Structure 1
Amino acid sequence: MRSQHDAWVRPPELDPEEAADALLRDLRSSRGGLSGREAGRRLVQYGPNELRRRGKRRWPGELVRQFTHPLALLLWLAAALLLMVGSQVVAGAVVLIIVLNAAFAFVQELQAERAVEALAMYLPQRATVVRDGAHREVDAVELVPGDIVLIEEGDRIAADVRLLGGAIEVDMSALTGESVPVVRSATMQDVRVPVLRAHDLAFSGTNCTGGEARGVVFATGMHTELGRIAALSERVEQEPSPLERQVRRVAWLIAAVSVLLALAFIPVAMFGAHLSLTNAVLFAAGLLAGMVPEGLLPVITLALAVAVRALASRGALVKRLSAVETLGSTDVICTDKTGTLTENRMRPAAAWSAGGRAEFDWASSGASPALRAVARIAAACNNAELPDGESEAAGDPTEIALLLAATRLGADAGIAAREAERCRQFHFDPELKLMTTIDGHDGDVLSVHTKGAPESVLPRCTRILGEDGEPVPLDDAWRERVTAQVDTFASEGLRVLALAERMLPAGQPPQRRDDAERELCFAGLIALIDPPREGVAEAVARCRTAGIRIIVITGDHPLTAAAVARRVGITGPDPTVVTAEDFERLSEAELGKLIRREPEIIFARASPEAKLHIAEALRGDGHVVAMTGDGVNDAPALHSADIGVAMGKSGTDVAREAATMILTDDNFTSIVSAVQAGRRIYDNVRKFISYIFSHATPEIVAFLVFALSGGAIPLPLTILQLLAFDVGSETLPALAISREPAEPGLMDRPPRPRGEGVIRGSMLVRTWLFLGLLVSVLQMVGFFYVLVRSGWHPGAQVGPGQPLHHAYQQATTMTFLGMVFGQIGTAFAVRTQHASLRSIGVFSNRHLLAGIAAELALVGIFVYAPPFQALLGTAALPPGYLVLLLPYPFIVWGADELRRYLVRLGTRRAQLAT
């Protein structure tokens, strides 16, 4: 027997019955099903009918990788250096940070594997098969190729099946994205069409919404269409987010600078200060420990966690912390239409008959005879049910909307009367785009009621109802008038259905569809609307201002998609619309050129592979892509995009597992809010990196003053004081800066380039050579002020037991406090990169005020608590010295405020000059 993949080649020269028999022969099966023994043998051969991974778990390697991340390596080095200088407690805290971060990152890695597992939820637990000539219920995982399965309304189909008898309606939305159920029939055979459109096939993971059928299984497990999508999802590997890449670069930069400075300090200390090699290495280790920003990683993690909580309150659940920052760099949003841009709720908008157009904002008593006929047909040719006060509306959304229209036009839409009169029904045919019912009235007359696409109904009509409700010939002039009205509705983004009828004498209703759907009398049109969500147009406008491109990728009709895109402002009047047929003819290179060339583009009737190729083409051009999706078919594209956005209400479990963000309200505006939050977070990451980096200069200056003076000037800052500053007093304000409100104009600037570093040259100049140098001068002023007032002169001994030892301890304490008070000024300075602090509010960040208060309380403990005095070498300072420190924050803050003012002034002058 051939493999499942190639077991069936559709023979185009055979009729449906002969084709089914050929397939049965190929599968070595029969209409009587398999024997239990043969089914067991095939289960061993093909394996269980389930979705599974193609490879083994690589979790040990993934876990090790978390411990060898560049920033983790830097923290390991910091811990080792802390042990070298005897600070076991702080070293243990750093190791704890490494372990917690590795564990958290590892858990996030495991989330990606759950997408394939979630696909299995689309397989039912039981299926009805024919085994040994009898009907049996078996576990779905036991289905094998060649099994004969029975499908009824409400069943979830367990494998890919070729129908042998009967007809069913199938909800294919999980695979195709289209919400309208499609008909699958054993008597309908298609040749040279995509496999998902074949009318004689039903697929694993879809739902039967009506009818009964019998079919033969030709593919199971990973060989099904659902399995193929699972395999696509598994092959797509997620790349590190922009922030993750930037953190690695920052880590290596810090490591390189730290190691170079430490190595350079050893010869300076040995030959300049005449220290021993051991002491030189010890001081170099202390310098390196001071350069390592132990708080950088936890601050970034906690900042992103805060943003995640804030987004959750706005309807966006982010599964991976780094995704928040990725959203901030997003420059392309690929969005679906239904349910994201629109409400996913059909409503009657207008009706048209020979008497003209009528909007649904008037009383039903005003309907003309022709419109009342339209209402009667809409109510009869329908399988939906309106709510009765206790239950909700049931049925297809389009048919529910038609019933609402019929009710407004005065028709009886009750299901009891409809079922009592129905004699026969021809299900909606997606190829014919028609549905027809034959209904009896008082036993003496039959009525054919037909609804469908106008281009399908109109050619089958020979008459049209006049305004008075009497039929008149449907001549060319009437046909042109109807067609013009259809085009008008379509251009408004409305879905148009045509309705027609024919009276028959009492007796046997037509058995063939062709006999019923001919010589009809055209009654009129009903136009339905899926209105845009509230706030979407404003969100789209914000995207335009922010330089974010929006591309609509939908399974809906091209005209409808284009009209909705125009209505919400995504495109102008003439967008480029690419249909599924157009897309199939494009090569990868042509697709990339098309996306670059056409700024306003819509992809309609998009397939799963199309969404995946579009995401890859955009990312290949350097774009940061956010992709929305809700069905199983969207999982590969959600994986491939930088940000996969799944719908929380209408989305499938598969999409939610594959995505990095879930919209609990299915609203496009939540995406834009998340983009704004991502930009704010990225700005704040830069701000607290500036804050943390600015301490490097004063720490280095303290060591260089000692070394370059040849030891004549004592070390202004002890290693333990330096570590206390790095790990203790600096962290809380940094955390507060991570919660800084957005600066004005955040969404008025274009997205940053994908490769732009989180650290820029101008940022280093500001932090190291301006803010850091200013704090260095202030702290050294305080250090020398205390020493000189105590009678110190260069070269004087200040070691333990010397008369100046207490004064030296006060001086190092003054240096330590000078750094702290200088960093308070730095914290206010870095809150804004360009604007004045007054424009965002001096006291608008209450977390920063609380963080500074906590920092001062902690510093007070370091300076005045005897245990910490003994540990850190600090000493209590008299009030006069503390007063000297009070201006430090205002000097640092004021200097940077002046610098920013001069920069803004220069920018304005340059703009005026041009």
Structure 2
Amino acid sequence: MENAHARSVEEVLDELATSREGLSSQEAVRRLDDAGPNKLPDAQRDNVLKRFFKHFNDVLIYILLVAVVVTALLGHWVDSGVILGVVVIIALVGFIQEGKAEAALEGIRAMLTLEAQARRDGRWEAIPAEDLVPGDVVRLRSGDRVPADVRIIERTNLSIEESALTGESQPVKKSTEPAEEDAGVGDRPSMAFSSSLVTSGRGVGVVTGTGVNTEIGRISTLTSEVETLATPLTRAMNRFGKQLSVAIVVLAGVVFGIGVLVHGDPAAETLLASISLAVAAVPEGLPAVVTITFAIGAQRMARRNAITRRLDAVETLGSITVICSDKTGTLTKNEMTARAVVTRAGAYDVTGMGYAPDGDIRLDEQPVDLGDRADLQALVEAMSVANDADIIQDQDQWVLNGEPTEGALQTLARKLGYDPSDHDRRAEVPFESEHKLMATLARRPDGDAVVLVKGAPDNLLDRCATELGADGQEHDLDRGWWEERIGELTAGGSRVLAAARRPASPDEADLALGDLDQGLQLLGVVGIVDPPRPEAIEAIAACRTAGITVKMITGDHPDTALAIAREMGIVDPDDDVRAVTGRDLAKADDAELADLARTHHVFARTSPENKLQLVSALQADGDVVAMTGDGVNDAPTLKRADVGVAMGIKGTEATKEAAEIVLADDNFVTIERAVEEGRTIYDNLRKSILFILPTNGAQALVIVTAVLLGFTLPLTPTQILWVNMVTAVTLALSLAFEDAEPGIMRRRPRDPDASILDGYFAWRISLVTVLIGGGTIGVFLLADVDVVGLDVARTVAVSTLVVAQIFYLFNSRFLTAASYHPSRLLGNRIAWIAVGALVVLQLVFVYAPFMNTLFGTAPLQLHHWGITLLVGLGVFVLVEIEKAVVRARSLIKS
């Protein structure tokens, strides 16, 4: 039903053709046929085969598949089988490492309640929540999860916790009065939303929406429709793959043309040479190296409390430019805390955070004792006795039983050593949204009776004629002074509660709202906040140093959000800025939205659609966006963001399933550490690429040279595949274990559209391609096929490629720094393990008979190994000379 929150109870009942007595069973069955069950639709998922075969959807894989077909047609079944086997292995690695399938909607469905109390045929009965229909009248009680979207028609002290939907940090007091028509979800006290939790009181409501027509259903639909974007590295790798594939196809065509038309070689033999060239140029091991490097990075991040659900998010974290963070539970503790106390005798500061009674109360920076402060005694008595909450120690944790605001006041009392249990409560006026106060008639331990009141400051100021003065005596109320103090606390982001009292006669036994209209004495006010996490403040500062902008996007009140943002350093305390609201965003056109997203850092009272708008606008402006959150209302945006980051402790299952990263400690500082890890992983990936591509280049150079000069191919397709795979999974993989470069978190975020290979990388790859390729050709020709045989000559060429790669590995660990220092040569233990593994594999390749049969190799003599070692050492020395020249030129320029 549209706008049920803005209509009167009678209008809603009429529109739904129902009454306070509910529906008949027959009518409910009829409506269930029309509206469908009160549940969310099952998510559609790809089957296993489709998820496996999608890993073949890559242009470089297409080239290898063509090579499989052509070699099979030419009768080279071993070559064809080996190439196909490599392709399948690449797909299997991607399939195994991709993790769990998308399950965000499953997480949302898990939040729905299973049973409801509905009025059918004039009597209350328990029915499956799936059977609820619009027009049903349902009963809500403390501890219930709301079974559908409900318009409140009756309520008694009803409060509902909606933070998962709205981001509001405290339960919402419910009312039967209509809200404004354009009110956001967080400003609709006349509604109770499906999946929210009743924290206190009771109520009755009429169902206005079920299934996908609920607020949580709308979020579910929004989540399912959100388009996820490719990561920056994925986009860069796709561009690189397409460019490389075009170059390979063109070069293979040129080689085929030269062989047939210029040298007159047989077409079948030349086609095999072209296939060898294609196989040589394709970096088959690169996908495996990228995937396994991500997996290693994910393990590192897990040790730092960041659990990775999608591997490519590991690298994306390293390139983010904006973090959009929820406030409640992410930047703040989601535990209300009394921060300030103001009486006529002084303004007190309260230390400590959360519900643990650790901390003290200070006046002029000095701790105070309750026994010396009559003003504090009076205020704490009212706040603690007129209070239905309690805080309980459960092992090492302090747990709240009751409402967060009242829990903060009980914690304040415990910090002062005050115990309210010795008061005998005789009667009370419970909190209601109309009068916004709670009052208790209590008998003190000395036998005196007193009425104690706490509530909204404006309501108590209206009812107070006097105040407790600094001298401990009663004075006329100075309303203007109190309004100034209240304004100061509110401007600082605090929720303010006031305390008052009046004496009661010994025989007074009842208490009504009218008994509070006169004779109250104002005692003071308390400022309560949801405090920022101290470690999050440091993490935000570190992110700003790293060139990352932090923006707060919350469903909370604008003043509260702005105050927290100032305290956390998201905006400068002296800047004259404002919090942009969801209404502002809804009214903005595309240009205005882009400007608001770019220039403002605090967004309040936002809906899930608003959050999506902001993230999409930032992405359209070229930013790489990470979004943090813990409520189901954050799920669509977490899915849309380049990296969704969910809270692992207080986050909902829906949020965790929509996210790529889950913080096991709910600590914002973990994001900053994850960014550092992501940048390290990207650096190491570039080192791996810098290492792998010269191997492919050298092999391609060998094939092209052989065709152009008309001599026998030094390498077969299967031998090329062997070199590509074993060097990738041993040597290249060891570079994934390199430590972070110095100053990595003082660098600006990298351009997400930048090429993986810059100009210097291209030069280095070209140089090493010529060195290794030229050395391989020279060794092959030196071996003299007519003397030692083709298999031996080719085995020497393959071994030269492998040994040269071993030496070049140590060049690659440092881009321009010298690698020959002993501390640097021995600095990566994994690199030496990889070298040892590769040596063993190569010896099996050369000397094992079954490998000789499979790959067309032959055993080598000792002098053959001496030649390969000389080539490898030559590559190492010449690359180090090149690096020295680059360092010298950089020094001259500086």
Does the pair score TM above 0.5?
yes
- Deviation, structure 1 residue 780: 3.2
Q: Which residue pairs with 2:814 in the alignment?
A: 832
- Check the 8 A contact 2:626/2:642 in 1, yes or no: yes
Kept in 2, the 8 Å contact 1:81–1:289? The answer is no
Per the TM alignment, residue 687 of structure 1 is displaced from its structure 2 partner at its CA by 1.9
In 2, are the aligned partners of 1:183 and 1:427 still within 8 Å (CA)?
no
Q: How does 1:560-579 map to 2 (within 5 A)?
A: 560-575=560-575, 576-579=577-580
1:77, CA displacement in angstroms? 3.2
Confirm or deny: 8 A CA contact 2:293 2:733 kept in the other structure: yes
Q: Percent identity?
A: 35
Which of 358, 380, 386 is equivalent to 1:375? 380
Q: What one-letter code is carried by the residue in structure 2 that aligns with 1:51? A: L
The change in CA–CA distance for 1:531 and 1:440 in structure 2 (over 3 A counts) is closer
Matching of residue 640 in structure 1 with residue 645 in structure 2: no
Distance in 2 (CA, whole Å) between partners of 1:528 and 1:886 is: 73
Aligned ranges for residues 763-912 of structure 1 at < 5 Å? 763-767=761-765, 769-787=766-784, 798=785, 804-806=786-788, 808-837=790-819, 841-910=824-893, 912=894
Q: Aligned pair 1:467/2:470, yes or no?
A: yes
Mapping of 1:107-146 within 5 angstroms?
Answer: 110-111=101-102, 114-146=103-135
Contact 1:630 1:652 in 2 (8 A): yes
Name the SS of the counterpart of 1:570 in structure 2: coil
3-state secondary structure, aligned to 1:169: strand
Q: 1:63 to 1:389 in 2, by over 3 A?
A: closer
2:420 match: secondary structure: coil
Deviates more, 1:863-872 or 1:209-218: 863-872
Deviations 1:586-617 (A, max 9, x none): 3332121133345xx21233332222211111
Structure 2 counterpart SS, 1:214: strand
Q: 1:299 aligns with which of 273, 289, 300?
A: 289
The match for 1:755 is 753
Aligned equivalent of 1:435: 437
Query: Does the 8 A contact of 1:436 with 1:448 survive in 2?
Result: no
**Deviation string for 1:660-704 (max 9, x for gaps)?**
211111111111122122222222222222222101232123223
Question: How many angstroms apart in 1 are the aligned matches of 2:230 and 2:236?
Answer: 10
User: Using the alignment, how far apart are the partners of 1:89 and 1:209 within structure 2?
Assistant: 65
Correspondence list, 1:268-347, <5 A: 268-347=258-337
Matched, 1:97 2:89: yes
Aligned 8 A contact 2:280 2:697 in 1: no
For 1:381 and 1:889, locate their aligned partners in 2 and report how far apart those are by CA, in whole Å. 83
Q: CA deviation at 1:510?
A: 5.3
Q: Which amino acid aligns with 1:620?
A: A
Residue-by-residue CA offset, 1:443-484 (whole Å, 9 max, x unaligned): 9976443334545544554322123432212236xx43x455
- In the alignment, residue 304 of structure 1 is paired with which amino acid? F
Confirm or deny: 8 A CA contact 2:167 2:327 kept in the other structure.
Answer: no
Name the CA distance, whole Å, in 2 between partners of 1:63 and 1:852: 32
Q: Secondary structure at the match of 2:578?
A: strand
Equivalent-residue separation in structure 2 for 1:471 and 1:409 (angstroms): 24
The residue aligned with 2:355 is none
Q: Secondary structure at the match of 1:155?
A: coil
Q: Using the alignment, how far apart are the partners of 1:548 and 1:764 within structure 2?
A: 29
What residue number does 1:228 align with?
A: 218
Deviation at 1:126, TM superposition (A): 0.7
For 2:782 and 2:43, locate their aligned partners in 1 and report how far apart those are by CA, in whole Å: 71
Q: CA, structure 1 residues 638+867, in 2 after alignment: closer, same or farther (shift >3 Å)?
A: closer
Q: Show the 5 A alignment for 1:307-706.
A: 307-359=297-349, 360-361=360-361, 362=367, 364-387=369-392, 392-414=399-421, 417=422, 420-427=424-431, 429=433, 434-441=436-443, 447-454=450-457, 457-458=460-461, 460-475=463-478, 479-480=480-481, 482-483=482-483, 485-486=485-486, 489=489, 496-505=496-505, 507=508, 509=510, 511-512=512-513, 516=516, 520-528=520-528, 530-575=530-575, 576-580=577-581, 581-598=583-600, 601-706=601-706
Give SS of 2:392's match: coil
Counterpart residue identity of residue 501, structure 2: E
Local SS of the residue matching 1:31: coil
How far apart are residue 628 of structure 1 and its match?
A: 0.8
**Shift, 1:147, TM fit:** 1.0
Q: Specify the SS of the correspondent of 1:135.
A: strand
CA contact (8 A) 2:333 2:530 kept: yes
Worse-superposed segment, 345-354 or 772-781? 345-354
Distance, in Å, in 1 between the alignment partners of 2:394 and 2:726 is: 63
Q: Give 1:489 deviation, angstroms.
A: 5.0
* Paired amino acid for 2:329: G
Give, in whole Å, the separation in 2 of the partners of 1:329 and 1:378.
49
Equivalent position amino acid for 2:723 in 1: F
Question: Does residue 708 in structure 1 map to residue 708 in structure 2?
Answer: yes
8 A Cα contact 1:364 1:408, kept in partner: no
Matched letter for residue 821 of structure 1: V
Deviation of residue 627 (structure 1)?
0.6
1: CA distance, partners of 2:680 / 2:836: 25
- Please report how far the alpha carbon of residue 349 of structure 1 lies from its aligned counterpart in structure 2 after TM superposition: 4.0
In 1: Cα distance, 2:705 partner to 2:234 partner: 37
1:831–1:428 distance in 2 versus 1, CA, 3 Å: farther
Give the SS at the match of 1:716. coil
> SS of the residue aligned with 1:421?
strand
The residue identity in structure 2 corresponding to 1:754 is P
What is the SS of the residue equivalent to 2:761? helix
Change in CA separation of 1:906 and 1:437 when aligned onto 2, cut-off 3 Å: farther
CA distance in 1, matches of 2:81, 2:797: 24
Which residue of the partner structure matches residue 801 of structure 1?
none
Cα shift at 1:402: 1.3
After superposition, the C-alpha distances for 1:511-566 in whole angstroms (9 at most, x for unaligned) are 44x76366642212334455443533332232122211111222334444344434
1:387 alignment partner, SS class: strand
Q: Post-superposition shift, 1:835?
A: 4.2
Given the superposition, is the C-alpha separation of residues 335 and 905 from structure 1 closer, same or farther in structure 2, using an over 3 Å criterion?
A: farther
- 1:261 equivalent to 2:264? Answer no
Work out the number of aligned pairs and report it: 867
User: What TM-score does the superposition give when structure 1 sets the normalisation length?
Assistant: 0.88
Q: 1: CA distance between counterparts of 2:2 and 2:44? A: 20
Asked if the contact 1:370/1:469 (under 8 Å) is kept, the reply is yes
Q: Which residue of 2 aligns with 1:16?
A: none
Change (3 A) 1:770 1:283: same
Q: What residue number does 1:793 align with?
A: none
**Length-normalised TM-score, structure 2:** 0.90
1:161-209: CA deviation from partner (whole Å, max 9, x where unpaired):
12222331111112111121111133x3334351632332211111111
Q: 1:898 to 1:500 in 2, by over 3 A?
A: farther
SS in 1 for 2:866: helix
Rounded to whole Å, the distance in 2 between the matches of 1:545 and 1:71 is: 39
Q: Which amino acid aligns with 2:162?
A: M
Aligned CA-pair RMSD: 3.0
Deviation at 1:65, TM superposition (A): 4.3
- Cα distance in structure 2, aligned partners of 1:151 and 1:588: 42
Q: Which amino acid aligns with 1:135?
A: W
CA shift, 1:56, in A, is: 9.2
Corresponding position: 1:728 with 2:726 = yes
Q: Distance in 1 between matches of 2:847 and 2:189?
A: 83
User: Per-residue deviation at 1:647?
Assistant: 0.9
Deviation at 1:54, TM superposition (A): 9.1
**C-alpha separation between the residues in 1 aligned to 2:477 and 2:402?**
33
What SS is found at the alignment partner of 1:52? coil
Q: Cα distance, 1:724 vs. partner?
A: 2.2
3-state SS in 2 of match to 1:136:
strand
Deviation of 1:490 (Å): 5.7
What is the alpha-carbon distance in structure 2 between the residues aligned to residue 525 and residue 404 of structure 1? 16
Matching residue of 2:175: 185
Q: Give the structure, 1 or 2, with the largest relative contact order (CA under 8 Å, sep 6 or more).
A: 2
Structure 1's 574 and 888: CA in aligned 2 closer, same or farther, altered over 3 A? farther
1:203-214 counterparts in 2 under 5 A?
Answer: 203-214=193-204
